[in-house]
Amino acid sequence: MSKTFKNSFRDTFEVNFDGIVGPTHNYSGLSHGNIASISSKAVISNPLQAVLQGLEKMKDLYDLGFKQGVLPPQERPEIQTLRDLGFTGSDKQILSEVSKKSPELLMAITSASSMWTANAATVSPSSDTSDHKVHFTPANLVTKFHRAIEVKTASKILRRIFKNPKYFVHHDPLPSSPAFGDEGAANHTRLCSSYEKKGLELFVYGRDGLDSEKSGPKRFVARQTRQACETLVRTHGLRKDAVLLAQQHPDAIDAGVFHNDVIGVGNQNVFFFHERAYVDSLNVKLALQTQFKKIAGEELFLIEVLSSEISLDDAVRAYLFNSQLLSLRNGEMLLVAPTECEETPSVKKHLQELLTRSTPIKEVRYFNLRQSMKNGGGPACLRLRVVLKPKELKAVNQNILMDEKLYFRLVKWAQKNYRDRLQFDDLKDYKLLNENRTALDQLTQILGLGSIYPFQL
């Protein structure tokens, strides 16, 4: 059967739930293995600019006809974590003590990294699961302390938004052990002929969590384990013939590919990736094509970028593969890329050539997300993809779905509550904590989420 372009706008939607950047957005260089994060350490950030850049992307995609939702940021500084670690006294006293005795801990509990909701959870749609419900498993994020403390609130937020048990199943995070390191949807891609049909779920891991003797990256830690992927397959009730596991190439991880969504992106019948993405690349490509054809009855568009076209360093620097790949109403696809792709000669040249080829990708739009990009998060990092049928979409908390009214309310809210400059010395400011709490309290009312933060309980 010849390759065809698909129109996905029939009965089922892929909804992108983007994280709203939090008021404590800063550059503390916490994410070892993330080149941009390390390189931007101690740079002065602009939280207001960051949140507005993210909201503008959401609004532009909504205007193009895509279903778009929002996920709220978390409370930062995270005082409850400090209390759990034995700090006592008033919130103000605790902040003062931590800033003097452990500035590294202060940076960790003030991180706004929950904005990258691709790490919030792994999601399998009802078309793929044995009980025909949408399954969510919050990522445990055990390899980074500043991210691991997000899990409890992230789980609560997801359960509050997708709360109808008739349609949604929420699992607990995997065990908090390096053997089951799970980074969420950033290492998960679903391929299908159309959203409402059964798909092939690709899980990517960096290491075997139970075999430390196996060779791996030398410079940076591989975050996702094979055991985590295998567990998600079981708990989500996925068919074995509709699942593929692939291992990240150690060289890619050492080049700064800390998640698969930095080296490959897929949507429906297209998979766009770098040739250095996977161990045993030839067999991975063969398995993708073979399994996809069995499930979808057609061939998969495998778009492989060679190192001679774009080096690993350029791919990581520009975040080409951290772009969003979205299906337009006419059956063609749009690539949502960061402006860094337009500014990197090898990447820009390749994308211009790609648009002339016989693939569904026929348009590229560049977005300014520099505040997020400086911390190592591009367009794909900022969103959690959830495939929903009409009844499932109706069961979602409707207050978090983007429209013109919500966009302008959120812009006004951000302009009222966010600072336009933040550096390390500001993180210990007790006023910043109160500003964050005030902003989040207002936001939960706007989004109709009720009390979800510790300070509200």
β-pair partners for 188? 203
Q: Cα 97–103–109 angle (5° rounding)?
A: 90
* Rounded mean pLDDT, 30-53: 74
Residue 5 scores a pLDDT above 50: no
Residue 105 C-alpha from the chain's centroid? 24
Structure-block tokens of residue 316? 């990581």
Residue 121 C-alpha from the chain's centroid? 8
* Rounded mean pLDDT, 361-372: 96
pLDDT band at residue 339, thresholds of 50, 70 and 90? Answer: very high
Catalytic residue from among 192, 229, 341, 381: 381
Q: What is the mean pLDDT of the chain?
A: 93
pLDDT of 32 reads 58
Catalytic residue from among 135, 188, 249, 259: 259
d(CA 445, CA 449): 7
* Rounded mean pLDDT, 138-162: 96
Catalytic residue from among 14, 78, 183, 392: 183
Residue 31 scores a pLDDT above 60: no
Whole-model pTM: value is 0.94
* Rounded mean pLDDT, 373-388: 93
| Domain residue ranges in the chain | 13-76+111-456
Q: Model confidence over 58-88: pLDDT tens digits?
A: 999 999 999 999 999 999 999 999 999 999 9
pLDDT of 215 reads 67
Does 341 participate in catalysis according to the annotation?
Answer: no
Residue type, 61: L
Counting beta carbons within 10 angstroms of the beta carbon of residue 98, is it exposed (0 to 12), middle (13 to 18) or buried (19 or more)?
buried
156 Cβ neighbours under 8 A, 6+ residues apart = 452
Structure-block tokens of residue 271? 């998979």
* Rounded mean pLDDT, 339-344: 97
pLDDT of 9 reads 44
Nearest-CA neighbor of 128 among 184, 190, 172, 187? 190
Contact 337, 366 (CB under 8 A): yes
Does 259 participate in catalysis according to the annotation?
Answer: yes
Q: Model confidence over 278-302: pLDDT tens digits?
A: 999 999 999 999 999 999 999 999 9
CATH class of 13-76+111-456: alpha beta
Contact 238, 133 (CB under 8 A): no
d(CA 401, CA 447): 9
If one compares 255 and 182, the residue with the highest pLDDT of the two is 182
* Rounded mean pLDDT, 140-169: 96
Contact 253, 234 (CB under 8 A): no
